[in-house]
Structures are given as structure tokens and as C-alpha cells.
Structure 1
Amino acid sequence: MILEKVINRIVLQSEYKDFVDKYRDNILTEFKGKIHSIYMCGSIPKGTAKPFKSDADFTIVCVNSKDIDYERLSNIKDRLLEEYPVVTKIDTIICSIDDVLSKPNEWGFWIKIICVCIYGHDVGEKVPPIIISPEFILDLNTETKEEVDRVRRGLLSNASDNSLKTRYIKGYSKRLIRALYSLVLEDTGVWQDDIIMMKNAILNYCEIDSALVDYLYACYLDSNVLVEEFLGVADEVYSYFENALNAMAASRTSFG
């Protein structure tokens, strides 16, 4: 099965049009000549965003990702959040053209399947069709352990501010649900970016304790839980995920 794009066309609600235009113009002005293309994913380009509740997710593709200074990028974000309170948060991912083309099952998947181009030539069109397979699922999760360790042992464990804890718990919950969902892609045949549909598919196809999945989903909706309790459940979920991934890798090796 070949993965289809999550967002086929941009449907911006009127509340967000000026914001998206301003973000694009600010980025192009601040990093003149260094931007190849700009992308969005999530509820805003889908037209399902909720004012004052939804965040904005951008991806910038350039020739050299080191050309983008994070402090200058952060200044743009801060200005826009002040000007457009309708957006709760702005996240921006940066990658290079080479990242997208040389890692089709990682960055290529992100740009081709998850994102929609709002400026420039869509480099995702150069990424070959992505076929759902154990190899793809393994490649897709190449950096999952590193990401989990970064949040588990760094950001979340050391966060002293309650708002930061809430944000990290929400983000970590979503990351683990996405990881579990990747395990069932051969069953669903599509990539979902709707968290409730991900959860339901995991419950239908994964042999994991449903209470663990329900807990993660509840934490995604309301992150006001004890960090120690959350991490205990998150560790159990990740252990299941890692074992499933290792079994998939071993099976691929056996039959390869």
C-alpha cells in the first residue's frame, strides 16, 4: 500500500489567514535568499483549527539548515504570538533539501505526507511514493528513542514550571500515541493525524493494555497529572513499543 498525503489542499479559516501570511512574509524577510520552501501541518491548514486553542506547526526547508538562526526565529514567533493571540503556540521545524531527499522514510515522509506547501516549490514532489512496509516503519522510528530520552530524562524531569510540565506531558503523550500508531500502519493503510482516530486504531490492532492508551489520551487532553505517575505509564508504553519494534526488526532480518 502507498501512503496518501494527509492534507491535499489548504483550507484556511478567516481567523488564521493574516497570521499565516505574516509568518511567511516575516520568515522570507528575515532569512532572505535562504528559504527554499515553507510548509504547514495540523489543524490550521486543514481548516479545523479552534481559535485560542489550536497551535501552528510550520516546517522550513532550506539548502543549509544552519542558515536559520534560532534566536531570530524565536523573535518572530514571540512577535506573532503577541499580535495573534488566536494561536496558542508556534512550532517551527527546520530541515534541508538533502534531509528530505536522502531520508525518504523520515524527512521525506514528513514533507510529502504530513505537510502541505504554503510557499516555494514543494520538494515533497521529488520524494518517491512511500510504501507501507516494516522497513518504512523502522526507518520512520529511527529517532524515536532519542526523542523520548530527550523528553524523559531532560526536559520533563527537570521542568520546574507547571506550564512547561503541562506542555511536555501533552507533547510526550502525543509522541507516544504517534509511535504506537506507526506500528499498525500495515493494518490501517493510511496515516492519521487525528489523535482520537490514532487512539482507536491502536486499541483495535495493538496488543497493548487499553488502559495505558486511554491514560495517554487523557493526559493529552488534560496534562494536569503527577509527573512521576505519568512517567511510570509512559515508560511502560515505550517498553511495549520498543519490544514491538525490535520484533519487527528481527522478523525482517529473518526473512530478509
Structure 2
Amino acid sequence: MTVLSVNINKIAVLRNSRGGDMPSVMQAAEACLAAGCGGITVHPRPDLRHIRPEDVRALGGLLAGTQAEFNIEGNPFADARGEYPGLLRLCAETSPAQATLVPDGDGQITSDHGFDLKRDGARLKPLVRELKAMGCRVSLFMDADSDDIERVAELGADRIEIYTGPFAEAFALGDWQQALEDCAKAAGRAQAAGLGVNAGHDLNQVNLGPFLRAVPQVDEVSIGHALIGEALYDGLAPTVRNYLAVIAAARS
């Protein structure tokens, strides 16, 4: 069964816009878990524009007492600065089930491309090894049409996360078969290399079902922006349950 991991960064964006602790990142995570999601995802960045290190630590404590997985995303090359201790330090402090490595720069609004392992593979390999020594499963954010998917296994990582932004954009335009085929091929290549498959970015209740029916190997989907946006209208717990129903229908 594909696990739904809810990315709660947007809760922190709203909180940070006013200051204080409302809406509460912790209460949002608790509501998602109570609704049945299988994991919580956060993507702390050095500029602290949404999820902050203290949130990561608090969530690590919350999830340590549950069956749900904690997934921390981030750029492993981003230097520690100010309150941000660096991705690997946060993982060492909180022991997430999974560390998802993403090549996002400070100037990016959101992640918009996967790794180029011909350029970054040598730098990533010791970091993957360090995270594995901490007990973290390691996933690398990869473009569906990347030539480097098999190389992910050579670096010692466990999974890829297929960047689904191009598929979601094509789906919205009504011409998405090629993008979906690219994702299915990427998943097949990853599995043939002994890797698990995650997926994320701009997946929503409309496009998730078609995606999962075409890419049945997906172990986890990480969904935040669309889910939190839809929850403004329908409520957080009902929206999580709606996503779980979409996943179940696609897998039936």
C-alpha cells in the first residue's frame, strides 16, 4: 500500500506570517496522524521561512511514539547558519525514518528539479553513508527523465523520489500521457536497480489516482501544498481521509 506522508510546511508558513504559535504545526501533525496518514514530511530551509529547527525537533519527539514515519527533506549541501544547524545535524538529533535529499537553492520558492548525479554524486556518496549510519532510509529527489536513476543505487541510497511537478503541470493542461509514461519508466528503472520509489510535488486529489494507477510501484507519496490548500475548504482530517481514499481506490 502506498503511504501518504503529509508535508506540513504550509502550516508553518501561515504561522510565521503572524508570529506566535497559531496555527500550531504540532496540532496539524496530530490531526493528520489521527486521520490515518502514514507519515509527516517537513522541509526545513536555512532561511527559516517555514518549518524551523525547533519544529523538527518537536515533531521528532511526537513521531517517535507512533507507527508513522518522519521524513525530513532538505539540501545536504546547505551550510549551517544561524539557528539552522544543517540537514545532517537535524537528522542526527531527531532520527527520522527517512531523509530525502533535494538539490534546492536558497533562491528557490519550491523544489523544481532533481539531482544531477554526474555533477553531485561524489559529494553525495559520503553524506548518504553518514545518514545510513544514523539509521535513516535515504531517498534522492530525481527527475523522471534523468539518466542517473541507476546511479542512485551506486551511491548507497535506498529510494528515489520522482519529481512529479512536470506530470502535474501536464495533467492540468490535459496532455499528460508522455509525462506519466516518463514517471512509470523511472519507477521501473529504479525497481530494477533495487531501489524503492517515492513521489511528490503538486500531486492532488484529481491527478493522484491516475498517477498511482500508471505507477503502481510507489511506496510513498509526499503531499503538502495541494492538501493544505484543499483543507482550508474541507478541513484537515477530512482532506487527509479523502487522499487515503484516492490511494485505496487506485490500489484496489
- Whether these two folds match at TM > 0.5 is no
- The structure with the greater share of residues assigned to helix is 1
TM-score norm. by structure 2 comes to 0.33
TM-score norm. by structure 1 comes to 0.32
Report which of the two structures shows the higher radius of gyration computed on alpha carbons.
1
